[in-house]
Each structure stands twice: as structure tokens, then as C-alpha cells.
Amino acid sequence: MASASLLKSSPVLDRSEFVKGQSLRQPSASIIRCPPPPQPSPFLLAPMLMSLSRLRYKTVASPGRGILAMDESNATCGKRLASIGLENTEANRQAYRTLLVTAPGLGQYISGAILFEETLYQSTTDGKKMVDVLIEQNIVPGIKVDKGLVPLPGSNNESWCQGLDGLASRTAAYYQQGARFAKWRTVVSIPNGPSALAVKEAAWGLARYAAISQDNGLVPIVEPEILLDGEHGIDRTFEVALKVWAEVFYYLAENNALFEGILLKPSMVTPGAECKDKATPQQVSDYTLKLLKRRIPPAIPGIMFLSGGQSEVEATLNLNAMNQGPNPWHVSFSYARALQNTCLKTWAGRPENVKAAQEVLLVRAKANSLAQLGKYTGEGESEEAKKGMFVKGYVY
């Protein structure tokens, strides 16, 4: 459940309410990012607090809502389209993304949508800007800013995430285009170690990205995904997650990132996908909340979990279990496949199926909305929604 500080309504978004070029961190004395208002007030004299207030009470971390991750790269989107027999063309990607953002009433359950760069600048099939459609739905547009994973020299066949070069100018441009938060995903592999080098590289990259994003007015989502690959048990995942999050927050502090202006997108603490001992939702909840309480400062306003290859129902049940009692943070979801899988298959690329696919999307969004409030029961779920989506060695 959301903490008491987050239990406020979510008024309709208005672009004009965001101050152009505002920073979520305190600017240095030599830099003026916003001209002083004609009649200063304590609220307007603190653009940082203004941004955080909107983040907490008005936008992404609002009760009963979570994030739709629709930021698949063109290559990854192509894999999804191929699964329903569609060619990976811009027109097909546009048609599918239009289906998602125009689902009637989506903003009742979804507070933010993470977009790929193509989508941020894209229009719907009806010629309306995707960003404008989201804002009309009371959904905050966000943007994926990392440039993907590449091999990490000197490691145990591990990866690092590229994209820091030119990030300042890109985030400034994304802000002008309407994005108000950003996402950077890096990964840690348990079967490959993880090595100290890989953990440090993941944490440092996330911290630099967070500081740069805040300097350019975007709320950073910090996402070190601990991959499901492996035969390890839940205790090993917990051990690695403790190490990873300790490193992440150390470097966030070193880079002077403002904790109150950060959202997290962690993995749930689960056994490896190939482990014989499966965990119940209660076990996943117990381990995950124990991790959060040991590593995550209460200043963080929102924790939006990734699904990481779990089935649609499994991800929702685990989220629901974590919201059976009060938490210091807004504990919610930022799902991609766990919101889209059945929707995509229902659509199958056919215009006559758009309405049915949107209805399926709303069913999943509502289920996770209930889970964020701790009220999901799992009744009436389809067999398709119960199918696991883990792919060994999956490359995004």
C-alpha cells in the first residue's frame, strides 16, 4: 500500500505546469535554470520541491496506479511482432503503440508510460502525437535513455550498459519533447558471478545517469535488473540483491543524486527460473520486503517492480502479497510483457481486434491496480495469463 504521504488524488496533467528546464537537484550558484517569478512564494522559490510534489502526489507514484513499460527497442519490438506473424516495420510498430496509448480509461490504472525514442516523437495512426494522447489520459510520458548492453571486458562474460555519452543533451531534448521521467536498465547475472567489476559498473552507470537526468528536469528510474537466469535458490538471489543495491546507493550518494527525486525499478527476489524449488507469493514478498527495508531509504517515493519474465498472473500475485501491509514507499509495478502479452496475442495485427485487445490490456492494468492496493484475488484469470514468459538468455 502507498504510504500516508502518497495518499492524494491525481489531478489531470497540464504541460504548462512544468517549468521549462527546471532541475530536480539544487542548481549551483553560478547556474540559473529558471528566471525568478514576479511574485515569489516559498513554493515557487523551490523548483526542486515543486517537481517532487508533482512526482509524489500527482503523477507516477499515485495510489492504485503503476507504469506501462512500452519502451522496447525497434529490434525487441520486432521480436514481439514476429510472435504474431507481423513484419517489423515502423507502420506496424506505430499501429501497436497506438493501440496501447489509446485504450479508453487506461489512465485510471496507469500513471506513467516509458517510451522508446521513436515513440516519443511518433504520432498515432490518426496523426495525434503519442505524448499528447498520454497526457490527455493523465499518464506521464517517460523515455528510455540507455543505449543497451555490450560485453564488459575483464569480467566473467558479463555486460555493461552504454549511453552516458551525449546523455545531457539527449535528456534536455527529451524534456522539450514532453518526457518527464527517464529509465536506464542494466543487468546483473547470477550464474556469471556476479563479478565485483560488473556490480560496480552497473551501479556507477546508474548513478551517473540519475544525476544527469535530474540536472535536465527528468525523474530517473533506476533499474539494475537481476536476471532470472539460473538454477540458484531464493537465498542466493537475496544475497546478490543486497550487494547490488548497497553499491547502487553508495554511488548515487557519491554523485549527489537527490533520493526524493528517484524512482526504483528492481527485480523481485525470486529463485532462478530453473530452480526446482518454486517460491510462493508470500515467500517472494517476505524476501523482497526484507531486501527493501535493509537497503532502500524511505526518502525514495516509489518502487515500481519489473516482472522479468514472470507470467502475467504470477507478477500480479507477488505484487499483491507485498501490499498486504503498510510500506514506507509506494510499491507498484512497471511491467512490459506482464501487461502486454495477452493483449498482443489478442490483437494479432488485425484492425478488427483492436477493441478486444484494448479490453484485455485494461483487464491486466486493473488487476495490477488492485494488487498495488493489496486487493487482488486472482479470480477469473485466463490460462494465457498464467503462462510463464521466461526466455533463457533473452536479449532486449
Reported as a single tens digit per residue, the pLDDT across 93-124 is 999 999 999 999 999 999 999 999 999 999 99
Catalytic residue among 58, 144, 183, 265: 265
Least confident of 53-62, 98-107, 307-316: 53-62
Bridge-based pairing of strands 263-264 and 302-305 is parallel
Residues 247-290 pLDDT 10s: 999 999 999 999 988 999 999 999 998 999 999 999 999 999 99
The maximal CA–CA distance of the chain, rounded, in angstroms, is 65
Predicted local confidence at residue 380, as pLDDT: 77
> Terminal CA-to-CA distance of the chain, rounded, Å?
31
Predicted local confidence at residue 290, as pLDDT: 97
129 given a catalytic annotation: no
- Average pLDDT value for residue range 306-320: 92
Predicted local confidence at residue 270, as pLDDT: 96
Residues 341-353 pLDDT 10s: 999 999 999 999 9
The H or E element spanning position 223 is strand 219-226
CA–CA dist 214, 51 (Å, integer): 10
Number of H helices, E strands in the chain: 12, 10
Predicted local confidence at residue 392, as pLDDT: 55
Predicted local confidence at residue 1, as pLDDT: 43
Residue appearing with cell numbers 530453473: 274
- In which band, very low, low, confident or very high, does the pLDDT at 388 lie, cut at 50, 70 and 90? low
- Cβ–Cβ under 8 Å, residues 301 and 260: yes
Catalytic residue among 158, 223, 225, 381: 223
11: cis peptide before it, omega within 30°? Answer: no
Closest by CA position to 181, among listed 212, 213, 133, 206 = 213
- In which band, very low, low, confident or very high, does the pLDDT at 394 lie, cut at 50, 70 and 90? low
DSSP 70-133: E---HHHHHHHHHTTT----HHHHHHHHHHHHT-TTGGGTEEEEEE-HHHHT-B-TTS-BHHHH
CA–CA dist 182, 283 (Å, integer): 31
User: Considering the entire predicted model, what is its pTM?
Assistant: 0.85
Dihedral through CA 114, CA 226, CA 386, CA 104, nearest 10? Answer: -10
Q: Which residue has the higher pLDDT, 152 or 30?
A: 152
To the nearest whole percent, how much of the chain has pLDDT over 90?
Answer: 76
Closest by CA position to 52, among listed 22, 29, 27 = 22
The class (CATH top level) of 52-386 is alpha beta
- Average pLDDT value for residue range 366-394: 78
Predicted local confidence at residue 49, as pLDDT: 46
Q: Which residues pair with 140 in a beta bridge?
A: 112
CA–CA dist 233, 223 (Å, integer): 22
265 given a catalytic annotation: yes
CA–CA dist 114, 141 (Å, integer): 6
